[in-house]
Structure 1
Amino acid sequence: MRTRRIALALALLGASLATLLTAPTPDVAQAAPGALTWSDEFNGAAGTGPDGNKWKFDIGGGGWGNNEQQYYTSSTRNAAHDGNGNMVITARRENPANYQCHYGTCQYTSARLLTADRFSQTYGRYEARIKIPRTQGIWPAFWMLGGSQWPDNGEIDILENIGREPSTVWGTLHGPGYSGGNAISSSYTLPNGQAFADAFHTFTVDWAPDSVTWYVDGNQYARKTPADLRGNRWVYDHPFFMIMNVAVGGYWPGYPDGSTQFPQQMLIDYVRVWAWNTGGGNPGTGGPLIGYGNKCVDIPGATPTEGIALQLWDCNGTDAQRWSFPGDGTVRAMGKCMDVAWGSTANGANIQLATCSGNAAQQFVLTGAGDLVNPQANKCVDVRDWSTANGAKLQTWTCGGGANQKWRRG
């Protein structure tokens, strides 16, 4: 649901479309997930909006990188509980058109809900039971983003449908070197001409460190691993948040025409997330790493440049401060790893951001005493010069129990 679809134009792919299709395999069972970590059952009273502790709105009509034609609002006319256990996202034709879009006045409104700043997680099972809308030019989606730097932070599309393909849904990966028309994509088609809009269906992704697997109604239809990325980088190693929306128009689905009917509704029965089954807990959930002066470990400028020195900064909840401990000894944010510069074992070595490699310079243990230790050096992550200023740099130093070496997860 970003600029990724500009070049896709699936109707023009012809023979290459066949290489994207993966036949469904109904006999493949899903692996057992870990513990339930987040859910919304949408049991609110009829006419009430989404739970603001779980969802926020994207608002606007700027085309969203795909020349979409709708204006996303926060109105309960476009997103509300129906009183029957569903969240309903409604795309409407407005008369008169009152919203300003990138091309003029918007004729359509809809809603786009996301869990950014509310919930994100690394790995696990992500699932929703949804009845999608229908008709030409309508584009429903349930998907995830790994941060604001697209496509470098990654995107996982759990469900996409375009109205002119009523029997087919798509699952897709977008990342550096494989976004837009070059994305890694597979589809699932219902048998016997059934339409997805006729009934609820369950859409699931199982995301593990080395794979993403898609299911419809429990039937596996695609599995992607780093080997499928044509030599490009696997960026699915840090927290992602969820999005669900109904777009109107765009380069991929095309635009409403004389056959298009409004309003159109997407009904969501539930959204649930489970931990990746590592044998316990949820080590991949991202959040702040808080230290000296009650400030957060931060990636300067929210720019994950190779070798950039990490710093302290006022806690602000951005992706640059959302650190995960995925259970392999690494500490990760924005698709890269905390790293001791040059693998040094000396006092004063910079703590930086680097491409994850799993080497000893990227191994850290957060002890019960609050020490963040690099075992190779047997030294602690330390705030240089005991500074509490924004921009104070981090280094390794002999563990001494000082307040500038104490850390906690937020």
Structure 2
Amino acid sequence: MSSRFRASAAVVAVLALILGGTAQAESPVPDPTTMATTFADEFNAPAGTPVDGSKWQLETGDNVNNHERQFYTNSTSNAVHDGAGNLVITARRENPGNYQCWYGRCEYTSARLNTAGRFTQAYGRFEARMKLPRGKGMWPAFWMLGDNMGQVGWPQAGEIDIMENVGHLMNTVHGTLHGPGYSGSGGIGAAYNGPNFGDGFHTFAVDWAPNRITWYVDGNAYQTRTPADLGGRQWVFDHPFFLILNLAVGGYWPGDPDGSTVFPQQFVVDYVRVTTTSTGAPTGRITGLAGKCVDVANAGTANGTPIQLHDCNGNAAQNWTVAGDGTIRALGKCLDVNNNGANDGAAVVLWDCHGGANQKWATPDARDIVSISGNRCLDVTGNNSANGTRLQVWTCGGTENQKWNVPR
């Protein structure tokens, strides 16, 4: 299979500046109680909202090495929230084109997003729910590159293709590894044959552990790769990688669009989630501003009990479990954004655990605690470190009243 990385020199320069026989798997999808969310984008912004720049950057330019036909833009005409809980990446025919490509005036535009410089991770579960475009020349992908791209280049940095499809074969997706001595059409991977992936949403994932990567479609494991599959070649999947979503048009593998290809075409993404596996759900104090603790007011267990900042005292009201399902728990209940609030200032309270999005949190290494439902950060009201100051959610700003030390 063809490599997804072969980007233009301009894209390589940007990355350098930012980054300095198939085995059938038999292991089940991991028990979520052994996992914690580290990255999530649910794409729940209003219609017309651009890509979240705190999570993704939009690459621009063409791709001469792979002979793709599109020009990647940062325009909302090519990547935008649809207001129905999705990111829509749109490939459009541009005649005459406004951009210059390797072959002349560009005939198509599209979008390519990555998390370089914003989120990287080694090991865990990397998953997206998506509906694929269709037609000759369409080439959607969900994939990853090593965060040392700027130092060692491709393919030494490694590439993990979680899902690739060529639009004239809508019942088949591919998962592939690329590394030194097994890149481009020599990548190590397998195909999964299933339904027409353009007719509805499907979930694509990898579970990545030391010396082992397993691919899934809709929870069905279809291949596992280990160093033994490389025939003595170097396994380079032992360091952090960043995520990429893109929709290419044309190129060596899918071929160019033809008269049967209808434009525009849409690659629709419901969510992207990353979790990290652990030996058990981490438990302990969550400390923040002035070294104080996240505390359940008066150790109350009634629904709606406020969450506050308080001197650390070691009692159960300050003993939090960062559970694998994305919840954060104390006293047998969950950290909850009151009334499912998604606006700045929504109160954070204790509530019966019910699995709703307003009880799901991401805890990235950047020390934010981010509400999945509103993409806002756990925040100390008014930057006030006094005992009893209530906690709320607020637009993430990287300030000290939004930074926390979370059990890991």
Task: Provide the residue aligned with 2:80 in structure 1.
Answer: 80
Counterparts in 2 of 1:98 and 1:206: CA distance versus 1, 3 Å: same
SS in 2 for 1:227: helix
Please list, as runs of the form range in 1=range in 2, the aligned pairs for 1:233-312 lying within 5 A after superposition. 233-279=234-280
Please list, as runs of the form range in 1=range in 2, the aligned pairs for 1:149-160 lying within 5 A after superposition. 149-160=153-164
Query: Is the 1:135–1:164 contact (alpha carbons within 8 Å) kept by the matching residues of 2?
Result: yes
Query: Is the 1:28–1:219 contact (alpha carbons within 8 Å) kept by the matching residues of 2?
Result: no
Query: Is the 1:207–1:276 contact (alpha carbons within 8 Å) kept by the matching residues of 2?
Result: no
- 2:5 aligned partner, one-letter code: R
- 2:72 aligned partner, one-letter code: Y
Which structure 1 residue ranges, 5 or more long, are not aligned? 5-18, 282-410
TM-score (norm. length: structure 2): 0.62
Task: Provide the residue aligned with 1:198 in structure 2.
Answer: 199
Please list, as runs of the form range in 1=range in 2, the aligned pairs for 1:2-401 lying within 5 A after superposition. 2-3=5-6, 19=21, 28-32=27-31, 33-63=34-64, 65-146=65-146, 147-148=148-149, 149-190=153-194, 194-279=195-280
SS in 2 for 1:35: strand
Off by >3 Å, runs of 4+ in structure 1: 278-281
Query: Is the 2:57–2:116 contact (alpha carbons within 8 Å) kept by the matching residues of 1?
Result: yes
SS in 1 for 2:254: coil
Aligned-partner Cα distance in 2 for 1:144–1:280 = 26
Task: Provide the residue aligned with 2:303 in structure 1.
Answer: none
- 1:109 aligned partner, one-letter code: T
Query: Is the 1:43–1:84 contact (alpha carbons within 8 Å) kept by the matching residues of 2?
Result: yes
Aligned-partner Cα distance in 1 for 2:278–2:162 = 19
- 1:130 aligned partner, one-letter code: M
SS in 1 for 2:277: coil
Q: How far does residue 280 in structure 1 lie from its aligned partner after superposition? A: 5.3
Query: Is the 1:29–1:220 contact (alpha carbons within 8 Å) kept by the matching residues of 2?
Result: yes
Aligned-partner Cα distance in 2 for 1:188–1:78 = 28
Aligned-partner Cα distance in 2 for 1:141–1:172 = 11
Aligned-partner Cα distance in 1 for 2:87–2:122 = 25
Aligned-partner Cα distance in 2 for 1:280–1:236 = 25
Q: How far does residue 28 in structure 1 lie from its aligned partner after superposition? A: 5.0
- 1:89 aligned partner, one-letter code: I
Identity of aligned residues (%): 60
- 2:30 aligned partner, one-letter code: A
Deviations 1:10-63 (A, max 9, x none): xxxxxxxxx45x66x7x7521235211110000011011110000001100133
Q: How far does residue 181 in structure 1 lie from its aligned partner after superposition? A: 1.5
Aligned-partner Cα distance in 2 for 1:100–1:220 = 42
SS in 2 for 1:206: strand
Q: How far does residue 255 in structure 1 lie from its aligned partner after superposition? A: 0.5
Q: How far does residue 3 in structure 1 lie from its aligned partner after superposition? A: 3.7
SS in 2 for 1:245: strand
SS in 2 for 1:207: strand
Aligned-partner Cα distance in 2 for 1:61–1:233 = 30
Deviations 1:367-389 (A, max 9, x none): xxxxxxxxxxxxxxxxxxxxxxx
Deviations 1:259-287 (A, max 9, x none): 11100001100000001334456xxxxxx
TM-align CA RMSD: 1.6
Deviations 1:351-380 (A, max 9, x none): xxxxxxxxxxxxxxxxxxxxxxxxxxxxxx
SS in 2 for 1:170: strand
Query: Is the 1:142–1:243 contact (alpha carbons within 8 Å) kept by the matching residues of 2?
Result: yes
Deviations 1:273-327 (A, max 9, x none): 001334456xxxxxxxxxxxxxxxxxxxxxxxxxxxxxxxxxxxxxxxxxxxxxx
Count of aligned positions: 260
